[in-house]
Structure 1
Amino acid sequence: MRIENSFIPVRGVGETTERRLWEHGITHWEEFDGSVVGDTVGQRIETFIDDGWTHLERGDVTVFAEALPASSRWRLYENVRKSTCFLDIETTGLDATHNDVTTVSLHRNGDTTTFVAGRDLTAGRLESELEAASLLVTFNGQRFDVPFLETCFDLEVSTPHLDLMYPCKKLGLSGGLKAIERELGIDRDMPDISGRDAVRLWHEYERGDEGSLETLVEYNRADTRNMEPLLDIVTDRLHEQVFEAACPDA
């Protein structure tokens, strides 16, 4: 499903109205003709579509991310798949005012980059990576990763953000990232490590154990990379549940 199939970002259009449009054969912006809805909502939809094409031509999905509920931002992914950045961080604790970020991994278009505190993890590098992305994807990053980075590095993350935890909940997938991976059969290349283990590994590295840093980095990278197949599964299932269920012949 693509943004051009969506009407719920329009003020006054909820899921019920959008589904009614789809059921009447209006499954794409190009098919909207003003029928099905009243004049006022129809004018809003026409304005939204006109402006929407301009944003899509620029590769900018910000306005759609701001208008969509957190559980529906999965609809953005297909439009900007190649410039989507998956992000995960490791820290020394849960409080950004007292703890530090140790590693940050970013996965985009098949490549994974990891920055390490005290080596190459800087505000400038993070800003550069995020500015190059059209969409930021995290798991529980809306409440944790993004505010942690903003506090520790004095950043303002403005990249449109899809937190995978919310569309997962829409599908009845609960628990942490690794629990959901196991439920969906997504494999990891290394044994499971807890957040507490991640803190221990960092402190071991600070005492001179380079092997502990290697393990921590690989753990962080696995979290980041595994979000991509998870998002693929989630978007496929929600496409079937939300879009195809309403318009199987679209």
Structure 2
Amino acid sequence: MIRRTFLILPALGKKRETNLWREGILDWEDFRSTARIKGIGAAKKSEMDLLLARADSSLAAKQSEYFCRILPSVEHWRMLDNFWEDVAYLDIETSGRSRYAEVTVVGIYTKGQMISLVKGQDLNFQNLAAALKDAKMLVTFNGSSFDLPILEYHFPFAVPKVPHCDLRHACRRAGYSGGLKIIEKQMGLLREREVEYMTGEEAVYLWHAWQRSHSKNALNLLLKYNEEDVMNLEPIAHKTYRLLEQQLLEEAKI
């Protein structure tokens, strides 16, 4: 999808992008190989060709951070199909709902590995940065409003500045609304019974129970809850990507 994307070009919006697709200019190669494009002067066309060439080389080199500067954040989902193997799915737990609350658990699923970092044990700047150092994309649910600002406040610069797909907003565009657990059920995803009905408030309670009495059961249940949050982001991201891609292509009648 990213190679079909012309929103990375200056002053070119979604309507013009759709019109290009309808005119048979379906991707960057088509654009660059077309000598004249209606509504784009020769000098501007040359500039755009250079920008697309740079985007192409950045994509080939997996320099995903380049696209953070030129692609609107709401369209970062278009990058997913090029970086599935390099996505970090992320979710945090906190001691309260304020952005200044303590981060208690950071769960990260990347390259087939689940990483759980716990406050007071192994959650620190170095370990968080190391867990995310190879990520070319981030996927969260409501992370743009909650997880990422909180992590930036407590662990400045630990999270890489790479494209970020916030599934809360992407799912809404794809026709799904509600919180993560509601969308999981709509998509047929099931949680393990022990955490099936847990909420964020109960996660806060479990952390305080662990702090008070060092109950291993409380901590293990909290980690299990967080793991389910993180692991379910992957199938949701795949389905949402397919739905959004289909929507765009159907609108353009491709």
* TM-score higher than 0.5: yes
Question: 1:235: how far off?
Answer: 0.6
Structure 2 residue ranges without an equivalent (≥5)? none
Alignment-derived partner of residue 45 in structure 2? 42
Alignment map for 1:55-204 (pairs within 5 Å): 55-97=58-100, 99-155=101-157, 157=159, 158-190=161-193, 191-204=196-209
Is the contact made by 2:107 and 2:114 (CA closer than 8 Å) also made in structure 1?
yes
Query: 24-33 or 164-173, which moves further after superposition?
Result: 164-173
Of 223, 229, 232, which aligns to 1:226?
Answer: 232
* Paired AA for residue 210 in structure 1: K
Runs of 4 or more, structure 1, over 4 Å off, are none
2:3 maps to what in 1? 4
- Which among 192, 210, 215 is matched to residue 205 of structure 1? 210
Per-residue CA deviation, residues 158-195 of structure 1 (Å, 9 max, x unaligned), is 23222112211212322211111112222222312111
CA offsets per residue over residues 90-133 of structure 1, 9 Å max, x none?
A: 00012233x21111110112221111111111111111222210
- Distance, in Å, in 1 between the alignment partners of 2:190 and 2:45 is 47
Alpha carbons of 1:71 and 1:159: their partners in 2 closer, same or farther (altered >3 Å)?
A: closer
Tell me which residue corresponds to 1:238: 244
Report the CA distance shift for 1:231/1:41 in structure 2 as closer, same or farther (over 3 A). Answer: farther
Paired with 1:189 and 1:24, the residues of 2 have a C-alpha distance of 49
CA contact 1:138–1:163 (8 Å) conserved in 2: yes
Contiguous gaps of at least 5 residues in structure 1: none
TM-score (norm 2): 0.91
Q: CA deviation at 1:156?
A: 5.3
Identity rate, percent: 33
* Residues 82/175 of structure 1: CA separation in 2 closer, same or farther (3 Å cut): same
Which amino acid in 2 is paired with 1:214? N
Write out per-residue CA displacement over residues 17-49 of structure 1, whole angstroms, 9 at most, x where no aligned residue.
111111111111111114234115533431221
In the superposition, the TM-score normalised over structure 1's length comes to 0.92
Across the aligned residues of Structure 1 and Structure 2, the Cα RMSD in angstroms comes to 1.6
User: Partner amino acid for 1:186?
Assistant: L
Aligned equivalents of 2:155, 2:59: Cα separation in 1: 30
